[in-house]
Amino acid sequence: MESSLRSKVVLVTGASSGIGRATALALSHEGAIVVAAGRRAERLQTLVEEAPGEMVAMELDVTEPESVDQVVSAVVARFGRLDALVNNAGLMLAGMILNADTDEWVRMVETNLLGSMRVAHAALPHLIESHGSYVQVSSTSGRISSAGAAAYSATKFGITAFAESFRQEATPYGVRTIVVEPGFVATELVNHTTDPVMREAADRIGESMRTLQPEDIAAAVVYALGQPDHVAVNEILVRPTDQLH
């Protein structure tokens, strides 16, 4: 049976690695037209070369409003529409509050929260036109905060709250909102952390369980987007079987 995602135009942010990369490939396998967006142009080009279907790369910095507007406009100019947004770009800079580098807090707020909000804002008029779907990749840290992840959790609580408001505002226009909340996933995310103690702690956590793989989260995104138009899977929480919190 032909996939319901075939020929749908999907913008995936943070597509150069991890969950974004896996999601872009999974959507391409389903026949979607994928716009893989991110900051690392060489990695994006490699991704495009691996894709089984139509995929284009676009450089995007979600912390720059002009970059966001240019990419969303370029997608619509090239393909005539935008059927779905997968808002995935983000970073995690773990650290205790007492000795935190607050510049790292600003970076996370700019990327994880404001960056995602900017892309959703720019995409919404086009999603209304297509009766499309907005997927926001959040985190279990957007449900349960923990020591060492205060600022990261704050950004994820924040973007989950934003997505709920988005859902209430966009639903009357026939736009679906999907929040995906992964637990511990084996990606480069923890590599951004500059605090060596927190890096070591993250490594220990990863070694203590069978972690999720980016493809596991990509499968959840494909599942939610592939539902009939009258079905909105508003929230998917995915943890490793071994993860307690």
Annotated active-site residue 152? The verdict is yes
Q: How high is the pLDDT of residue 121?
A: 99
pLDDT in tens, 90-100: 999 989 999 99
- Express as a percent the part of the chain with pLDDT over 90: 85
DSSP reduced 3-state for 70: helix
134, 152, 173, 223: which one is catalytic?
Answer: 152
pLDDT in tens, 177-231: 999 999 999 876 666 777 777 777 666 777 777 899 999 999 999 999 999 999 9
| CATH number of the structural domain 9-237 | 3.40.50.720
Q: How high is the pLDDT of residue 138?
A: 98
> Domains of the chain: which residue ranges?
9-237
| Residue 128 predicted with pLDDT over 70 | yes
**Separation of alpha carbons 69 and 119, rounded Å:** 8
Joined together, the tokens standing for residue 86 give 């997968």
Q: How high is the pLDDT of residue 200?
A: 75
Q: How high is the pLDDT of residue 47?
A: 98
Joined together, the tokens standing for residue 165 give 């408001």
Joined together, the tokens standing for residue 235 give 């929230």
- Cα four-point dihedral sign 55, 61, 62, 68: negative
Q: Classify burial at 11, counting beta carbons within 10 Å of its beta carbon; exposed 0-12, middle 13-18, buried 19 or more.
A: buried
Q: CB neighbours of 226 closer than 8 A, spacing ≥ 6?
A: 3, 4, 5, 30
